[in-house]
Chain A
Amino acid sequence: MAGEFAVRSQALPPPTERYTLLGWAHKNLFSTWYNTLLTFLAFGLGYVLVKPVITWLLEQAEWEVVKVNMRLLMVGQYPMEELWRVWLCLHLLAAIIGLTWGIWVRGRPWLAGALLLAPISFALLPTISDPNRAQLFILAAVALIAYGVGRFRGKGFRRPTISAWVLYFPTIILIIRGLTISEDWLPSVRSNLWGGLLLTFLLTVVGISFSFPLGVLLALGRRSRLPAIRWVSITYIEVIRGVPLVTILFMASNMVPLFFPLGIRTDPVLRAMIGITIFSSAYLAENVRGGLQAISFGQYEAAHAVGLSGFQTMALIILPQALRTIIPVLMGLFIALFKDTSLVATIGLLELLGISRSIMAQPQFIGFQREVLLFISLIYWVISYFMSYISQRLEVALGVGER
């Protein structure tokens, strides 16, 4: 009898349910009469809505307008002879991403393959010019080499890679902007020539990078016991949240010059960046505050009991947990920020949407709105989905919801 319990208590695998395609369809689509009805309705509706689009896509769409204006859409009026600088920034990004992937990411070869295939498949499109094609291949090669370095010599490169990420954005702004001092080395490209996707990226990246620390400070300030700090934070957050982004952009555009000494011409792109940063930080502050409220009081007590100072408690214990919890919310904010950059058209900057509208206004391209809009929608969607995907990977890596 003694062995019987041991045998019975052994865990068995659960019963597997195997379906053929017909079996699956029967269970999920046609199980009852109303399910069957709904299935037919759904398919019918899908057909009615999708068929015209597919037909148009395959038969009537003419992508000439996109092909001819590709440079405008991507970099605006950035001078042709300086485009190598934009490519340089992309190569640097590919190198850093490759390094990061090699050092920290294990597995997921299909995703790596997909990311590598992206520039290569772009390169194979018939509409790409030859020098760009070469650049795209170089991009894939750089990423691959960097991945190899990261994977096989990883340990020594951890700190340099993190520093590289931190320094990347100031560096590319420098590269793209150029130097005003020495015109031979790196001639300056005035920001009114920046446009298209390049400008969208710059605005987004600067917006995220600066609004994040500012938002965290505001959230902490709102919870501070010092009345002055608390009231300043509350006022800032509530005022900015009460005003639409367009209004803030207008105000930034008109009022930022007041803060600089007379005679200094403030860059319109800088004003837009300031406006976006101010706007985003207010929303971010509230999200961080929500995350902070979710931290149980016992964490503070344990940290104090073990001797950590207030600052150490916040930096080592509370903020890591709070920020981890709100990653989905933050990412949503950043994705919205990315698309809100399209509003800077109202202060005269031609980022992706702005420049596509001016393309559509050209006489030779009247009637091709659909192609242009579909193209930029695709770009917005791909990048937004990529950000969303990164957020999910980040959550898994940091164990959100598990620990």
Chain B
Amino acid sequence: MSQQILSDEPIIIARDVHKWYGHFHALKGIDMDVMRGEVIVIFGPSGSGKSTFIRTINRLEEHQRGQIIVDGIELTHDTRNIEKVRAETGMVFQQFNLFPHLTVLQNITLAPIWVRKWKKQKAEEVGMQLLERVGIPEQAAKFPGQLSGGQQQRVAIARALAMQPKIMLFDEPTSALDPEMIKEVLDVMIELAKAGGMTMIVVTHEMGFARAVADRMFFFDEGLIVESGTPDDIFKNPQEDRTKLFLSQILTH
């Protein structure tokens, strides 16, 4: 279990969120409240809309109906609001998406320097601290292509943390990693969750992670939330048949 909930106002409010890709109805009315400091795990079969939903939170995808309010700011077509929300959210991608032409440290310090207008020295200090926190300070001068997948993803986490966001979004962070590297990334995420204060929304298949640190879990299927609850509720007492079916499929090993 992670830190206690910090305040009463939800930091993310999603009300009846719908999204279409052309004719394809990807999100069919999502309602979700996320409290400050909560660690949320979203799981479900592929195509269920989990990644789509998490990407609507920082406007990498646009929702066509419904409301999304992040830290009091509503996400609409207004670009100023979008920029404010993006400054408060950090995202870690399945494909890492590091900037290959910059060194590891430059990847991390780029945004603070250009968006938060920090001085280079301050940005580099914070950057090195973050690299130590994720366990790879010695890689600072290397280029992403010279690192292993697990190391790259940890750099991606450090890059997102460098902007000191209130919310961290993880879109299947370990799905593209070789099995022996999954643990090192999950360890970083577990440490982040246990340190407290950070609202985390993690789309993942790693049920061990969910059991360890999740406050609540949401099961997505076919664009809807089928079931939600604490890890205890979901694992020991799943209510819906589809939940039970999916859990039986992924918990066989």
Which positions in A face B, CB cutoff 8 Å?
A: 296, 298-299, 301-309, 312, 316-317, 320-321, 324, 398-399, 402-403
Say which one of B11-19, B108-116, B201-209 lies at the interface with A.
B108-116
Q: B145 — nearest CB in chain A belongs to which residue?
A: A403
Sorting the interface of chain B by its residue count into under 10, 10 to 19, 20 to 34 or 35 or more gives 20 to 34
B223 within 8 Å of A (CB atoms): no
Q: Given contacts A301-B60, A305-B89, A403-B143, are A321 and B83 in contact (CB under 8 A)?
A: no
* Assembly CA distance A324 to B160 (angstroms): 26
* Assembly CA distance A257 to B99 (angstroms): 47
* Assembly CA distance A401 to B127 (angstroms): 27
Judge whether A402 and B145 touch: CB under 8 Å: yes
Q: A299 — nearest CB in chain B belongs to which residue?
A: B97
Judge whether B146 and A299 touch: CB under 8 Å: no
Measured between beta carbons, the chain B residues less than 8 angstroms from A307 are 83, 86-87, 111, 115, 163
Q: A402 — nearest CB in chain B belongs to which residue?
A: B145
Judge whether B98 and A312 touch: CB under 8 Å: no
Q: Given contacts A299-B97, A317-B99, A403-B145, are A305 and B83 in contact (CB under 8 A)?
A: no
Judge whether A321 and B101 touch: CB under 8 Å: yes
Judge whether B99 and A299 touch: CB under 8 Å: yes
B91 within 8 Å of A (CB atoms): yes
What's the least CB distance linking B219 to chain A, in Å?
Answer: 25
Judge whether B86 and A403 touch: CB under 8 Å: no
Measured between beta carbons, the chain A residues less than 8 angstroms from B60 are 301, 304-305
Nearest first, the 4 closest Cβ-Cβ pairs linking A and B are A302-B97, A305-B91, A298-B97, A306-B111
Within 8 A of A (CB), among B87-125: 87, 89-91, 93, 95, 97-101, 110-111, 114-115
* Assembly CA distance A344 to B136 (angstroms): 59
Judge whether A308 and B91 touch: CB under 8 Å: no
* Assembly CA distance A320 to B89 (angstroms): 26
Q: Given contacts A301-B60, A306-B115, are A316 and B110 in contact (CB under 8 A)?
A: yes
Judge whether A316 and B143 touch: CB under 8 Å: no
* Assembly CA distance A12 to B61 (angstroms): 52
Measured between beta carbons, the chain A residues less than 8 angstroms from B58 are 304-305
Measured between beta carbons, the chain B residues less than 8 angstroms from A398 are 101
Measured between beta carbons, the chain A residues less than 8 angstroms from B101 are 320-321, 324, 398-399, 403
B63 within 8 Å of A (CB atoms): no
What's the least CB distance linking B144 to chain A, in Å?
Answer: 7
Within 8 A of A (CB), among B12-43: none
Q: Given contacts A307-B87, A312-B114, A321-B100, are A298 and B95 in contact (CB under 8 A)?
A: yes
Q: Given contacts A298-B95, A306-B159, A307-B163, are A403 and B144 in contact (CB under 8 A)?
A: yes
Chain A contact residues: over half helix, strand or loop, or mixed? Answer: helix
Q: B55 — nearest CB in chain A belongs to which residue?
A: A301
Interface centre among B114, B145, B163 (most CB of A within 10 A): B114
What's the least CB distance linking A328 to chain B, in Å?
Answer: 17
Interface centre among A312, A398, A403 (most CB of B within 10 A): A403
Q: Point out the residue from A299, A305, A317 that lies within 8 Å of B160, measured CB to CB.
A: A305
Measured between beta carbons, the chain B residues less than 8 angstroms from A308 are 110-111, 114-115
Q: B103 — nearest CB in chain A belongs to which residue?
A: A403
Measured between beta carbons, the chain B residues less than 8 angstroms from A303 are 99
Measured between beta carbons, the chain B residues less than 8 angstroms from A305 are 58, 60, 86, 89-91, 93, 160
What's the least CB distance linking B162 to chain A, in Å?
Answer: 8
Judge whether A403 and B99 touch: CB under 8 Å: no
What's the least CB distance linking B125 to chain A, in Å?
Answer: 19
Measured between beta carbons, the chain B residues less than 8 angstroms from A320 are 101
* Assembly CA distance A402 to B143 (angstroms): 10
Measured between beta carbons, the chain B residues less than 8 angstroms from A312 are 114-115
Measured between beta carbons, the chain B residues less than 8 angstroms from A298 are 93, 95, 97
* Assembly CA distance A310 to B144 (angstroms): 23
Measured between beta carbons, the chain A residues less than 8 angstroms from B99 are 299, 302-303, 317, 321
Known: A306-B160, A307-B163, A398-B101. 4 other contacts (CB 8 A): A296-B97, A298-B97, A312-B115, A403-B145
What's the least CB distance linking A158 to chain B, in Å?
Answer: 16
Measured between beta carbons, the chain A residues less than 8 angstroms from B159 are 306
What's the least CB distance linking B55 to chain A, in Å?
Answer: 8
What's the least CB distance linking B148 to chain A, in Å?
Answer: 15
* Assembly CA distance A317 to B98 (angstroms): 10
What's the least CB distance linking A385 to chain B, in Å?
Answer: 28
Judge whether B93 and A302 touch: CB under 8 Å: yes
Q: B144 — nearest CB in chain A belongs to which residue?
A: A403
A selection of 7 A-B contacts at a CB cut-off of 8 Å is: A298-B95, A299-B97, A302-B93, A304-B58, A307-B111, A308-B110, A316-B110
Measured between beta carbons, the chain B residues less than 8 angstroms from A306 are 86, 90-91, 110-111, 115, 159-160, 163
Measured between beta carbons, the chain A residues less than 8 angstroms from B95 are 298
What's the least CB distance linking A221 to chain B, in Å?
Answer: 20
